[in-house]
Amino acid sequence: MYFNKVQYRKYAQLFLQSIKAQKVDFCEIRFQENLIEDISFKNLNIENIYNIDRRGVSIRVLYNGNWGFSASSDISQKTIEDIFNEAFGMVEHLSEGTVKITSEEVYQDEDIQEVLINPFEVPISEKIEYISSIQNDILKEKNIDFADASLIQVYEKKLYLNSSGSDIYQERCRLFPSFMMYRVNPELTTLKFYTRPVSEGYEYFKNFPFKEEILRANENIYQKSKAKEVISGKYNLLIDPSNLWLTIHESIGHSTEMDRVLLYEANYAGSSFASVDGIGELVYGSEKVNIVGDRTQKNGLASVKYDDEGVKTSKFDIIKNGLLEDLQTNREIAAFSGRENSNGCSFANSYSSFPLQRMPNVSLLPNQTKDLGFKDMLNIMGDGIYIKGDGSWSIDMQRYNFQFTGDLFYEVKAGKIVGMVKDLSYQSNTQDFWKSCVEVGGQSTYSLEGAFNCGKGQPSQVAPVSHGAPVSLFKDIKVLNTKNEN
């Protein structure tokens, strides 16, 4: 289907002009299309092909301190009038509510992400053939018995107008190739490829060094299957960004969402141990810990020039030299907390979804004074365990006590990797863990990781988000043997 932004804009302009007599406090209209395709394989067999074009229009209206919202997959002038009447009808006769929003600048702009190859312009037969060839190469390796693969592609278009005068059109492309290997000897061993979700075009998939990754995976899964079990205790941990991104997401990303901090959001995944009073006071980590929220970051999954409330996005400090510096907001939460402006953290995953306060790209900054490489970080650690790749996780409803596993675990002695261990999880609480961060690597060790499926809200919405980090060193962290549960 064709996203006719010229026609949609005319509809919206006529509509916004027509409702001026309604004397609503604020009204916004959002046209959105999400092209989504997911191709998955089991060994060399296609398991599923999921292809959808989700397109429609929504209207959100603020009247007498209450939100009204309605949406439709039918886009026409009459439909827009109908869903406005439905949204306004929800709030027209309600008693005065508490909702206020910040006053923000007005923009007329267009921002289209540049991609070399639009994945939806590549024939699906070509994608299937390419994934099959990769799977075939994987299964030729002697140490790999089975393999799964999937390729998720999303192309998003949004046209946003509001009663203040903003008129913004944006396009974004996201891609996530994923491969999982299995070895059955002497027991089941699994291993992931280190492809990561990105905000790029199909070129990322075509240019990924699969030959090198397959050779590495073949050796790694063999070593992992033969690895000795870890001995529980306290260890220095050198954590790769391919693992640390998830710890950042759960212990910092969610806990610094202001709606959770204010108990405005608690139903889905809980609230937060942090507080508004803790800004500038709460010791979140060591002085090595500098965390930023950034929806402008190149190739970030949450990167966009304007959020879904028409607010221009930015980069802002969340934790600075270990202290809580700021929290994430949208227009409603910012106003609720007494702030003058939002920092642009609103997102709706579909035309039919009410926009929520959502996480920006939340990242740990690399060392700003010296470019410590991976070998430098090993030498600084001396003895300990190097963790690579994400695994399962658990965290409490205040985003405080947690446990994380990983994919690969390397034993390190005197700054040298001496072998692998397995069945490992690390356990701590958010403040103790980040206070134990004694060093962070330089820019050469930094990598941008992330996920397509961060969940929030009821009804549930998923949002894409990236988390960057350098290789980072944590001192005296409790490690458990997951097999023996001790």
* Distance (Å, whole) CA 298 – CA 456: 24
pLDDT at 484: 83
Does 288 lie in the same domain as 258? yes
In a domain, 280, yes or no: yes
In a domain, 486, yes or no: no
312-370 pLDDT tens trace: 999 999 999 999 999 999 999 999 999 999 999 999 999 999 999 999 999 999 999 99
- Nearest partner of 218 among 145, 281, 168, judged by Cα: 145
301 CB-near residues (< 8 Å, 6+ apart): 174, 197, 198, 199, 361, 450, 451, 452, 464, 465, 466
Kind plus residue range of the DSSP H or E element containing 429: strand 424-429
254-303 pLDDT tens trace: 999 999 999 998 888 899 999 999 999 999 999 999 999 999 999 999 99
In a domain, 237, yes or no: yes
**CB 440, CB 470: distance < 8 Å:** yes
236 pLDDT band, cuts 50/70/90, is very high
What is the average per-residue pLDDT within 71-75? 97
119-148 pLDDT tens trace: 999 999 999 999 999 999 999 999 999 999
Does 241 lie in the same domain as 211? no
What is the average per-residue pLDDT within 233-243? 98
Does 291 lie in the same domain as 347? yes
In a domain, 465, yes or no: yes
Last residue of a domain, one of 167, 191, 226: 226
Does 424 lie in the same domain as 349? yes
Does 246 lie in the same domain as 192? no
486 pLDDT band, cuts 50/70/90, is low
In a domain, 75, yes or no: yes
**CB 406, CB 390: distance < 8 Å:** yes
* Distance (Å, whole) CA 105 – CA 313: 12
Domain count, the chain: 2
User: Which residue range forms the structural domain that includes residue 239?
Assistant: 229-481
Percent of the chain with pLDDT strictly greater than 90: 96
CATH number of 198's domain: 3.30.2290.10
Last residue of a domain, one of 200, 226, 252: 226
In a domain, 420, yes or no: yes
Q: Examine the pLDDT at 1 and tell me if it is beyond 70.
A: no
* Distance (Å, whole) CA 327 – CA 309: 18
pTM assigned to the model: 0.97
- DSSP at 48: E
Task: Convert 333-343 to b/e letters by CB count within 10 Å (16 or more is b).
Answer: bbbbeebeebb
94 pLDDT band, cuts 50/70/90, is very high
Q: Any long-range contacts for 180-183 (C-beta under 8 Å, 24+ apart)?
A: 180/147, 180/148, 180/149, 181/138, 181/144, 181/146, 181/147, 181/217, 181/221, 182/144, 182/145, 182/146, 182/147, 182/148, 183/143, 183/144, 183/145, 183/221, 183/222, 183/224, 183/225
Does 327 lie in the same domain as 204? no
* Distance (Å, whole) CA 160 – CA 164: 12
Does 46 lie in the same domain as 89? yes
- For residue 271 the two structure tokens come to 């609230």
What is the average per-residue pLDDT within 372-378? 98
pLDDT at 426: 98
- For residue 119 the two structure tokens come to 């994945």
In a domain, 162, yes or no: yes
pLDDT at 267: 83
2 pLDDT band, cuts 50/70/90, is confident
Does 197 lie in the same domain as 96? yes
Does 243 lie in the same domain as 190? no
pLDDT at 269: 83
Does 163 lie in the same domain as 54? yes
Residue ranges of E strands in 295-373: 315-320, 323-324, 346-347, 356-357, 362-364
Mean pLDDT of the chain: 96
Q: Radius of gyration over alpha carbons of the chain, in Å?
A: 24
Does 304 lie in the same domain as 213? no
Does 395 lie in the same domain as 363? yes
Last residue of a domain, one of 201, 226, 251: 226
